[in-house]
Amino acid sequence: MRTVQSPPRAPSSPPTTTLGYALFATRWLQAPLYFGLVAAQGVYVYKFFNELWTLVLRCLTGRATETYVMLAVLKLVDVVMIANLLIMVIVGGYETFVSRIGLQGHRDQPEWLSHVNSNVLKVKLATAIVGISSVHLLQMFVDVHHTERHSLLWGTVIHMAFIVSAAILWYMSGAATNPHADQHQQPPAAARAVSVPAQGGPPAADDGPDAEERVRAAGFPVRRTLEEFDADHPRAFDRDAVARLGKLDFLAVPGNVVLTGPPGTGKTHLAVGLGLRACEAGHRVLFATAEDWAARLSRAESAGRLAEELADLDAYPLLIVDEVGYVPFDADTTRLFFRLVSHRYERGSLIVTSDRPPHRWGEVFGGPAAPAMVDRLGHHAETVRIDGDSYRTRRATAGWAE
């Protein structure tokens, strides 16, 4: 097995200082705060069942009026929504500000956690607060005969203030999560919301000459759409995850996609299909094998323009790195990949295909930069595992049988 060697490199940047590591370690001071919120979650569990028991007793004894039942149910809904808010703060906050939880690929991973960051978390929390405020306001109107007029007025005003604040946060977060919108040439939101038809069929897309030009410039080895993927061939893969990725929401985060599985199971097909759909939705895409990306970055560093090359790649919202794992890389080349992944962190999306899961990429990438690269890549990543026999082998065997 050959190893890709990079040319002599320029002097590396100075290591992070001890003071910097110490400051970074202070994030663990927040950990007890999240465990305190776990205790608060327990209080709300007790409150929920206490309210539920009271409601059941009053219903069984015939002392529950219709208004009382509605108010009691709204109280239960209120407790559940506050508990949901606590879960988002505990799990999302810990993942964003303290340390990774490492749920990538777990079957119970919440959908929202796969693309959470500080901006997304703020918007979701604001939306949850609006929902809680809506329940409180509804409680006032249900019990309007026992609610003072000025309380109704101020409850409505405060609720509208929450709605306006959430809308402002959503607008500001959208601008913050995509600071390079002009460079990325992103289309309007309607164009980005590409649907994934349940029965296949083409998505709503731009089929004009500009889309064709983006497809040609992307460098795809073949043109294979998501609809052409033989979903019956793999023994196991997450269809819902692929359908979700086909909506291209991960480009707006921006997040990454890791497709893993044995050779010939369709990883490159899915990567190309996602890339084609991104091109049709107005995004620029670049496709290359891991070995080709290594050569490209090595040439740029040899020419003393690695930083410029990485900046030029900002014009592409999506880069596809195919066939990670087939050729091992030395420490210098691993460092170049780390520079690429680090530069695009929360700036642009990557799709990576590999014959092994990320936790085994240490077998491919040499040097100390490998764990940090995998950590950055996996932070906002959706991992899809495809299990099955090689599609190419199956076709060859079928040919021999004939």
Task: Give 295-334 pLDDT, tens digit per residue.
Answer: 999 999 999 999 999 999 999 999 999 999 888 999 999 9
More confident site: 43 or 176: 43
CATH of the domain at 363: 3.40.50.300
**320 - beta bridge partners?**
287, 351
pLDDT at 109: 61
Question: Would 149 be classed as within a structural domain?
Answer: yes
Question: Would 369 be classed as within a structural domain?
Answer: yes
**DSSP assignments along 33-87, one per residue:** HHHHHHHHHHHHHHHHHHHHHHHHHHHHTT---HHHHHHHHHHHHHHHHHHHHHH
Residue 146 and residue 206 in one domain: no
- Range ranked top by mean pLDDT from 196-210, 221-235, 383-397: 221-235
Residue 339 and residue 274 in one domain: yes
Question: Would 9 be classed as within a structural domain?
Answer: no
Among 157, 177, 197, the domain boundary falls at 177
More confident site: 128 or 256: 256
Crossing angle of helices 331-344 and 290-302, in 10° steps, is 90
Q: Where are the alpha helices (DSSP H) in 61-208?
A: 66-87, 93, 118-142, 149-177, 181-184, 189-192
Torsion of CA 74, 79, 81, 86, to 10 degrees: 170
- Range ranked top by mean pLDDT from 27-31, 143-147, 271-275: 271-275
Among 146, 177, 208, the domain boundary falls at 177
HSE-up of 125 (CA within 13 Å, CB side)? 17
| Domain carrying residue 154 | 26-177
What is the rounded distance in angstroms from the CA atom of residue 254 to the CA atom of residue 115? 8
Strand pairing class (318-324; 381-385) = unpaired
Average pLDDT of the residues of the chain: 80
- Mean pLDDT over 248-263 rounds to 92
Residue 339 and residue 287 in one domain: yes
The answer, yes or no, to whether residue 50 has pLDDT greater than 80, is: yes
Q: Of the given ranges (39-48, 107-116, 174-183, 201-210), which has the lowest mean pLDDT?
A: 174-183
170-178 contacts: CB < 8 A, separation 24 or more? 170/123, 170/126, 172/119, 173/119, 173/120, 173/122, 173/123, 176/119, 177/117, 177/119, 177/120, 177/252, 177/253, 177/254, 177/346, 178/252, 178/254
Residue 126 and residue 222 in one domain: no
The answer, yes or no, to whether residue 144 has pLDDT greater than 80, is: no
Residue 142 and residue 262 in one domain: no
pLDDT > 90: percent of the chain: 37
Residue 142 and residue 254 in one domain: no
Residue 296 and residue 379 in one domain: yes
Question: Would 21 be classed as within a structural domain?
Answer: no
The answer, yes or no, to whether residue 14 has pLDDT greater than 90, is: no
Contact 132, 85 (CB under 8 A): yes
What is the rounded distance in angstroms from the CA atom of residue 218 to the CA atom of residue 279? 8
Residue 211 and residue 158 in one domain: no
What is the rounded distance in angstroms from the CA atom of residue 65 to the CA atom of residue 213? 67
The answer, yes or no, to whether residue 399 has pLDDT greater than 50, is: no
More confident site: 128 or 288: 288
Q: Of the given ranges (50-59, 149-158, 307-316), which has the lowest mean pLDDT?
A: 149-158
Residue 203 and residue 286 in one domain: yes
Question: Would 17 be classed as within a structural domain?
Answer: no
Confidence of residue 7 (pLDDT cuts 50, 70, 90): very low
- What sign for the dihedral angle of Cα 224, 227, 231, 233? negative
Crossing angle of helices 331-344 and 369-379, in 10° steps, is 30
Task: Give which of 352, 308, 318 is closest to 217, Cα–Cα.
Answer: 318
pLDDT at 149: 83
Diameter of the chain measured on Cα atoms: 85
pLDDT at 195: 39
Among 126, 160, 177, the domain boundary falls at 177
Question: Would 53 be classed as within a structural domain?
Answer: yes
Question: Would 245 be classed as within a structural domain?
Answer: yes
- Mean pLDDT over 209-227 rounds to 90
More confident site: 348 or 198: 348
The number of domains in the chain is: 2
The answer, yes or no, to whether residue 201 has pLDDT greater than 50, is: no
Residue 397 backbone dihedrals phi, psi, to 5 degrees:
-65, -40
Rounded to 5°, the CA angle 285-290-295 comes to 95
pLDDT at 82: 86
Residue 213 and residue 284 in one domain: yes
- Which amino acid is present at 284? R
Helix, strand or coil for residue 266?
coil
Residue 259: burial class (beta carbons within 10 Å; 0-12, 13-18, 19+)? buried
Residue 261 and residue 119 in one domain: no
* Each residue's pLDDT tens digit, 265-282: 999 999 999 999 999 999
Question: Would 291 be classed as within a structural domain?
Answer: yes
Residue 86 and residue 198 in one domain: no
Contact 281, 194 (CB under 8 A): yes
